[in-house]
């Protein structure tokens, strides 16, 4: 009798546990779905069911949406909805949009007609364009309108272009124009090229032109290569060409091999 009662209570406990687990799982699933819905509504992702939001969640959503729209309008994004702005927000956004159009006028190559500029803004835009044109001419960058340069600015631009060309030649860049180098600059460029080639040969780079080395430089490199080859043959690490070793070096290697046995 006691055994039957024990089994009965055990079975009831198991059923209660299963029931509570199922209820808890359902509650967790509901919470997960609800939180996902809140996230979708906040971020504008997936399907947002506003009817399932609490009053506090709905209020928070509306606040976030309004602020996001204000931010979109302030940044000039196409998703901006001007009709949802307050009067003061609309005034601020309008001012910011005008500022952006003025800035666009400063960087535009052609005359700007999409905004009516004040006298000070017109002066500022003209000064900005003049400075940019001068910078382009100095850096040999298009567009450069030399007709808009003063005599002094034209000379400054010529000097800057010559210096830029010299720098390009010294660096081995493709835009180097050797015909524009002075004799002194040309000599420095040749010396720089020779030095770069020497470094390339010392480092075993494929750009090395061994024929451009002096006899002294070629000799120094040959000695260094001989030492590297001998070390490789002795150590067993690296490329070894025994045919380039002297009889004495071969003997040394053979002796060391016997000692190792």
User: pLDDT per residue over 91-124, tens digit each?
Assistant: 999 999 888 888 888 877 566 766 788 888 888 8
Q: Is the peptide bond before 111 cis (omega within 30 degrees of 0)?
A: no
- Based on the domain organization, do 243 and 208 belong to the same domain? no
- Whether 99 maps to a domain, the answer reads no
Q: What is the pLDDT of residue 46?
A: 67
Q: Are the C-beta atoms of residues 224 and 217 closer than 8 Å to each other?
A: no
- Based on the domain organization, do 167 and 199 belong to the same domain? no
- Based on the domain organization, do 203 and 242 belong to the same domain? no
Q: What is the pLDDT of residue 191?
A: 95
Overall number of domains in the chain: 3
State percent of the chain over pLDDT 90.
Answer: 50
> Average pLDDT, stretch 200-213?
93
Specify the DSSP class assigned to residue 81. -
26-65 pLDDT, tens digit per residue, is 454 455 888 888 888 888 766 888 888 888 888 888 898 8
- Whether 52 maps to a domain, the answer reads no
Of the three residues 135, 162, 179, the one that is the final residue of a domain is 179
Of the three residues 162, 179, 196, the one that is the final residue of a domain is 179
Token pair 């010299």 is found at 166
- Whether 85 maps to a domain, the answer reads no
* Cα–Cα distance measured from residue 13 to residue 7, given in angstroms and rounded to the nearest whole number: 10
Which is more confident, 6 or 152?
Answer: 152
Query: 3-state class of 77 per DSSP?
Result: coil
- Whether 48 maps to a domain, the answer reads no
- Based on the domain organization, do 231 and 196 belong to the same domain? no
Q: Are the C-beta atoms of residues 134 and 144 closer than 8 Å to each other?
A: no
Instruction: State which residues form the domain around 169.
Output: 117-179
- Whether 158 maps to a domain, the answer reads yes
- Based on the domain organization, do 173 and 189 belong to the same domain? no
Q: Assess whether pLDDT exceeds 80 at residue 149.
A: yes
Evaluate if pTM is beyond 0.85. no
Token pair 């949009």 is found at 97
Q: What is the pLDDT of residue 34?
A: 85
* Cα–Cα distance measured from residue 160 to residue 135, given in angstroms and rounded to the nearest whole number: 10
Q: Assess whether pLDDT exceeds 90 at residue 231.
A: yes
- Based on the domain organization, do 127 and 168 belong to the same domain? yes
Distance of CA 18 to the CA centre of its chain: 56
Q: What is the pLDDT of residue 31?
A: 55
- Based on the domain organization, do 221 and 259 belong to the same domain? yes
- Based on the domain organization, do 121 and 162 belong to the same domain? yes
- Whether 190 maps to a domain, the answer reads yes
- Whether 226 maps to a domain, the answer reads yes
Q: What is the pLDDT of residue 17?
A: 58
Of the three residues 135, 161, 179, the one that is the final residue of a domain is 179
Return all residues near 132 (Cβ < 8 A) that are at least 6 apart.
107
- Based on the domain organization, do 171 and 188 belong to the same domain? no
Q: What is the pLDDT of residue 168?
A: 92
- Whether 51 maps to a domain, the answer reads no
């Amino acid at each position: 009798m006691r055994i039957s009662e024990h089994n009965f209570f055990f079975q009831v406990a198991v059923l209660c546990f299963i029931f509570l687990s199922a209820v808890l799982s359902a509650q967790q699933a509901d919470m997960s779905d609800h939180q996902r819905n809140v996230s979708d509504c906040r971020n504008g992702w997936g399907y947002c069911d506003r009817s399932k939001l609490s009053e506090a969640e709905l209020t928070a959503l509306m606040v976030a949406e309004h602020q996001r729209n204000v931010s979109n309008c302030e940044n000039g994004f196409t998703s901006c909805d001007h009709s949802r702005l307050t009067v003061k927000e609309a005034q601020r956004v309008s001012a910011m949009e005008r500022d952006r159009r003025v800035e666009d006028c400063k960087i535009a190559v052609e005359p700007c007609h999409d905004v009516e500029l004040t006298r000070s803004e017109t002066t500022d835009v003209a000064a900005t364009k003049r400075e940019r044109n001068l910078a382009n001419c100095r850096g040999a960058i298009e567009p450069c309108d030399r007709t808009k340069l003063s005599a002094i600015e034209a000379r400054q631009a010529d000097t800057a272009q010559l210096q830029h060309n010299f720098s390009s030649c010294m660096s081995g860049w493709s835009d180097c124009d050797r015909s524009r180098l002075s004799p002194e600059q040309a000599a420095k460029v040749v010396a720089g090229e020779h030095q770069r080639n020497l470094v390339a040969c010392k480092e075993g780079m494929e750009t090395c032109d061994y024929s451009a080395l002096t006899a002294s430089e070629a000799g120094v490199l040959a000695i260094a290569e001989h030492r590297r080859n001998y070390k490789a043959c002795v150590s067993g690490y690296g490329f070894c060409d025994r045919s380039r070793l002297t009889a004495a070096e071969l003997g040394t290697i053979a002796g060391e091999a016997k000692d190792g046995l």
